[in-house]
Structure 1
Amino acid sequence: MSSSDIFIGETIGTAVLILLGGGVCAAVTLKHSKAQGAGWLSITFGWGFAVLTAAYLAGGVSGAHLNPAVTIGLAIKGGTPWSDVPLYLGSQLLGAMIGAVLVWLTYYGQFRAHLTDPETLHSPPSEEGLVDQAAAPKAGPVLGIFSTGPEIRNAVQNVVTEVIATVVLVLAILTQGLNNDGNGLGTLGALITSLVVVAIGLSLGGPTGYAINPVRDLGPRIVHALLPLPNKGGSDWGYAWIPVVGPLIGGAIAGGLYNLAFA
């Protein structure tokens, strides 16, 4: 697999992942969206289908890691050369940022209408893409479209939640056989992984919003900080390390568990 394959596949695949995943959060959250208020089930299935689409798209090019935690797990397992890891991670972060910008462009009018609505600005809901201002006073009223936030702000619990959820995800991927070369998602693996993501969202996503992917959270959070959104509030950088560190730890643990129990 060439460096250009990794860069193209991971950048485009991760961009599509965030476009569709962030898109469902925007659809459920923003005023004047036909899906406003559709709820948690819509978000969890939307993210699952986002994984499915992105994995099918990038699987034959780069192996469709789309997630640094997956890349780390595969490197520990031995399916991905450590020399390729920086390129995977950089491409994934770039793709996540591109996907977040595409969400903003797609819902441009809805973002402006939502963020200039007095009702939204004075009494924001608590999740489904919006962050509770009492629990997270530095968070903006649409930050949850771009990145995750906890319902109860406890750093230890939040990290542990992300670690556990990511171990489930990455171990499920590693034990599939993945591709013929063991270096990414195969056709059936993409479908299985998308269903695992739905299961994680339904069962483990309640406490933190289940980042389970460092660039899924960090890339869009950077974009939120940079975009010219009126009344957007802060980007909650005090929490931002948790959805990065937790999934990376979880990916490493999953790789180690695979080598101990399944290799």
Structure 2
Amino acid sequence: MKLKIFGETVGTGLLIYFGTGLLIFGPPFPDLLGPAIGWGFTLAVLIYVIGPLSGAHLNPAVTLTMFLTNRMSGKEALIFVGSQLLGGLLGELAVVGTYTSWLQQQGQSWQTMVTKNNLGGTVFPHLSPVVAFLTEILLTATLLLVILVLNHARTNMYAIQSPIAVGLTVFVLVIVGGNLTGASMNPIRSFFPAIFAGGLALQSIWLYLLAPFVGVLVAVWINRFILKPELKITR
């Protein structure tokens, strides 16, 4: 269990640091290609590295999905979520410390810059709350279904390539949903930037704390009534 706690804590911390860091430390991206590649590659690499330790959930929505599909116990799921919360906090503290130093050296205002970039947090200024909520459900459910298929006893013949498949899925989902909701798909990914950024990101946090878990229910329902009992592999 120590390895699993270590893996989920460190993995989630690195995901937050590298994932949100690429949005605020680097030059402004002209489109979503850079962020999509960054998030996709970051997650793929972390799954390869952290996977042998804990399975590399790095996301409470993934952990809840694994629990509801009988792939882990309730006690283990709680430990995973606690580790992810700790890792997310540590990762965000590293982001805030780095960004504070960078802004000081540049002579720029924290308030001005964070108002612009929300510390890499997720917002939905171009959609109504209902449409944004449904969009985030769809994105999360799609990601979780890919993970469930890759973990399915009858479809995991390419398990060694699973990190690449998940990374490519995130790439596509960020390309599609990045300008709509920020394509969070992970409560921790949105929660800690919002806590430290405040403003619009904090006002929007309710959506990113609720929608992924509705996405979990959708994915689990499909797994129970479509994937699990009837799935057949044709060759």
Q: TM-score range by the shorter chain?
A: 0.7 to 0.9
Q: What one-letter code is carried by the residue in structure 1 that aligns with 2:86?
A: L
Aligned identity (percent) is 27
State whether residues 69 and 213 of structure 1, in contact with CA within 8 Å, keep that contact through their aligned partners in structure 2: yes
Tell me how far 1:84 sits from its aligned partner: 1.6
Q: Report the CA distance shift for 1:245/1:202 in structure 2 as closer, same or farther (over 3 A).
A: same
Summarize the alignment of residues 167-178 of structure 1 with structure 2, pairs less than 5 Å apart.
167-177=141-151
State whether residues 74 and 255 of structure 1, in contact with CA within 8 Å, keep that contact through their aligned partners in structure 2: no
Tell me how far 1:204 sits from its aligned partner: 2.5
Summarize the alignment of residues 75-90 of structure 1 with structure 2, pairs less than 5 Å apart.
75-90=67-82
State whether residues 167 and 251 of structure 1, in contact with CA within 8 Å, keep that contact through their aligned partners in structure 2: yes
Summarize the alignment of residues 4-83 of structure 1 with structure 2, pairs less than 5 Å apart.
4-28=2-26, 35-83=27-75
2:203 and 2:136 map into 1 onto residues whose CA distance is 16
State whether residues 93 and 219 of structure 1, in contact with CA within 8 Å, keep that contact through their aligned partners in structure 2: no
Alignment coverage as a number of residue pairs: 224
1:41 and 1:51 map into 2 onto residues whose CA distance is 16
- TM-score, length-scaled by structure 1: 0.77
RMSD: 2.5
1:116 aligns with 2:109: yes
Tell me how far 1:114 sits from its aligned partner: 7.0
2:167 matched residue in structure 1? 194
Q: What one-letter code is carried by the residue in structure 1 that aligns with 2:130?
A: V
State whether residues 54 and 64 of structure 1, in contact with CA within 8 Å, keep that contact through their aligned partners in structure 2: yes
Summarize the alignment of residues 207-246 of structure 1 with structure 2, pairs less than 5 Å apart.
207-224=180-197, 234=199, 236-246=201-211
Listed as ranges, the gaps of 5+ residues in structure 2 are 229-235
2:84 and 2:209 map into 1 onto residues whose CA distance is 13
- TM-score, length-scaled by structure 2: 0.85
SS in 1 for 2:205: coil
